[in-house]
Amino acid sequence: MPVPPPIDRIPDVADPSFAQKNRSDSSAEASCCGSRTTGSPKMPSSPDSTECTCGFTSPIDPEEAKLHDFSQRFNRWLTYGQSIALVAIAIATLVGIGLSIWEMVGKETVGLGDLLMLFLYIEILSMVKGGALGTREIPIHTPIALAIVAVARYIVVDVEHLKPLYMFLTSASILVLVLALWIVRRIVKKNDRL
């Protein structure tokens, strides 16, 4: 096993200004994300690398810096697109809730299908809230629970039009979704304990 060199022989540890002297001015003042650093740039971990404000350490190779800059911009635009889509989904869901309530008031009756539809709207809003305000990730159990309620609503609303075999298969799909939800929750609980 090779022995590492003594600390005083590593150039940027022995002389921290070594890395700054051996980098070009453009790479010293520009981070790999394309943003200019203010004040003195972060000291790189080695003379042949630059450290970005996002914590990414890359070689001074301009092609890699361009690629990282592009990926940062692309990620930012995807986040903007996701936010716009979440706002559109939230608005459409609120309109759907309003129309469902208006329809129930017009009929002067509230059925189980109507309540399940409102529950679906509320679940969609909770997914939007989790995506926008949470970790920007939608937990897998939420769409599974939505699917269970959607299939149950389908059975409740169209019960007189379903043939027995089709109703059995639709009910079996609910069972499969419930089992999937149970497995996912057990895995999440097991991972939380670790």
Q: pLDDT (tens digit, 9 = 90+) per residue, 68-98?
A: 888 888 988 988 888 888 889 999 999 999 9
- Shared domain for 54 and 141, answered yes or no, is no
pLDDT digits 0-9 by tens, 26-58: 444 444 454 444 444 444 445 455 555 555 555
- Shared domain for 93 and 39, answered yes or no, is no
Residue 156, pLDDT score:
83
Residue 19, pLDDT score:
44
**How many domains does one find in the chain?**
2
Within-domain flag for 41: yes
Give the domain range for residue 100: 84-193
Residue 54, pLDDT score:
58
- Shared domain for 104 and 26, answered yes or no, is no
- Shared domain for 47 and 120, answered yes or no, is no
- Shared domain for 144 and 89, answered yes or no, is yes
Q: In angstroms, how far is the first alpha carbon of the chain from the final one?
A: 34
- Shared domain for 105 and 176, answered yes or no, is yes
Q: What is the DSSP string of 117-178?
A: HHHHHHHHHHHHHHHHHSSS---THHHHHHHHHHHHHHHHHTGGG--HHHHHHHHHHHHHHH
Binning pLDDT at 50, 70 and 90, where does residue 192 land? confident
Top-confidence range, 105-114, 117-126, 146-155, 173-182: 173-182
Within-domain flag for 77: no
Is 0.95 topped by the overall pTM? no
